[in-house]
Amino acid sequence: MGSRPTMTVVPTQDELLLVDVVDTLRHRFDAHFDPGTTVAPELLEQIRVFYRRVGMDVPDSVLAAGAVALTQGRFAYAPPRGPLAALGRLYVSRRRWGRQAGAVAIVLVLALGGYFFGYRPYEAARNAQAAHELQQVLPARIDELYRQIFDETKVQTAADQAVQLRDAGRAAALKGDRGGAEQAIGGLEALRNKLDQAYTVHIAGEGGKLGFWTFPPNNSEATNYYIIVDALDSSGKELSLPITSDDTGVTTVVNRWGLRVPQYIYEAVMAGRSDQGLGANSLIGVKQDGFLDVDYAIPVLGGTLTQW
């Protein structure tokens, strides 16, 4: 069995051979040298043996030069750096991130489109509508209610209340305070509705009970007397009215309530003095259209209770 022929390296090939030696040191022998490092003879012998096995006879000068070139970083690939290189790498790897980026871009376009062509026009229209209501609709409603009250009222008290509510509502609308303007409108509507009401007040009784007495809050030595009353419209239908209770200060819509009266009126009602118009179902007051308060035919003390 013959031996492998030995290749003779010519000087013109030294540079190419040098590149191969550096690559062999870097990858096959995993060799790394600091600048100024002397290459160990054992390593040079290992490299020489490696090349001889593949039929190449590499001079010691080329082997030593390869070790030096390795310490100098020659023939090593250094990837490009900078913005353009980063863009190039991004473009090359587009298959890996392209679909996800495309989906994100579509979502972003839809979101921006919805914001600029949907939400912003809607918000602008809503703001314009709100401004229109504050500047025109609500003030016009306030003035309309005020005129109705002024035309219908037969007492100066209602006119004075309407002026206060009108001025407060106008000022709120001018400041952009929608809640304040709507509160004034609510007050004007309640005042107008109260003026429009016409009914009669009767001693109602409830389960045979015509009245009751209580101790006032914070004064157990005094006694308050109440008769139970209701309100009927012109057709005789029982009405439900907002009544403020003395003990709690809470206003409740009820169809019967306790009306505070002097003790002697209470005793006459409890005795059923129908001869004096103080029996059950007796008429004791009239609320006329255009007035705020009931005109009572008997002395009353003004207090009311909704529970007893």
**Selection from 84-93, 132-141, 216-225 with the highest mean pLDDT:** 132-141
Query: Would you say residue 4 has pLDDT above 70?
Result: no
Per-residue DSSP letters for 103-172?
HHHHHHHHHHHHIIIIIHHHHHHHHHHHHHIIIIIHHHHHHHHHHHHHHH--SHHHHHHHHHHHHHHHHH
- pLDDT at position 82: 76
CA 148, CA 152: separation in Å to the nearest integer? 6
Across residues 15-39, what is the average pLDDT? 67
Please say whether the beta carbons of 55 and 6 come within 8 A: yes
Q: What pLDDT band is residue 272 in, cutting at 50, 70 and 90?
A: confident
Query: Rounded to the nearest 5°, which phi and psi values hold at 21?
Result: -65, -45
Per-residue pLDDT at 227: 95
Tell me: pLDDT of 92 over 80. no
Q: What is the enclosing helix (H) or strand (E) of 202?
A: strand 199-203
Distances (CA, A) of 295 to 181, 291, 292, 302: 33, 9, 10, 12
Q: What is the dihedral of CA 273, 283, 260, 238, to 10 degrees?
A: 130
What pLDDT score was predicted for residue 135? Answer: 86
Q: Which two tokens stand for residue 247?
A: 């003990």
The answer, yes or no, to whether residue 303 has pLDDT greater than 70, is: yes
Does 28 have pLDDT greater than 80?
Answer: no
The answer on pLDDT for 3 being more than 70 is no
Task: For 139-169, write each residue's pLDDT tens digit.
Answer: 999 999 999 999 999 999 999 999 999 999 9
Angstrom distance (rounded) from CA 244 to CA 270? 24
How far is it, in rounded angstroms, from Cα 290 to Cα 197?
8
Sign of the Cα torsion 244, 247, 250, 256 reads negative
Given this model, what pLDDT does residue 126 score? 77
Lowest mean per-residue pLDDT among 45-54, 143-152, 289-298: 45-54
- Flag whether pLDDT at 277 surpasses 80: no
CA 268, chain centre distance (Å): 61
Which three-class secondary structure state does DSSP give residue 7? strand
Considering Cα of 269, then 271, then 275, then 280, what sign does the dihedral take? positive
Average pLDDT over residues 34-55: 73
Model pLDDT, residue 13: 59
Residue 225 has pLDDT above 60, yes or no: yes
- The whole-angstrom separation of Cα 290 and Cα 157 is 11
Q: Per-domain residue ranges for the chain?
A: 7-71, 99-196, 199-305
**What is the rounded CA–CA span in Å between residue 219 and residue 226?**
17
Tens-digit pLDDT profile for residues 179-224: 999 999 999 999 999 999 999 999 987 667 899 999 887 777 889 9
Q: What is the pLDDT of residue 111?
A: 83
d(C-alpha 173, C-alpha 131), whole Å: 10
Share of the chain above pLDDT 90, in %: 44
pLDDT band for position 8 (cuts 50, 70, 90) = very low
Q: Please give the pLDDT value at position 49.
A: 83
Mean pLDDT of 93-110: 78
Q: Indicate the pTM of the whole model.
A: 0.57
pLDDT of residue 7: 43
Element (H or E) spanning 188, and its range?
helix 178-196
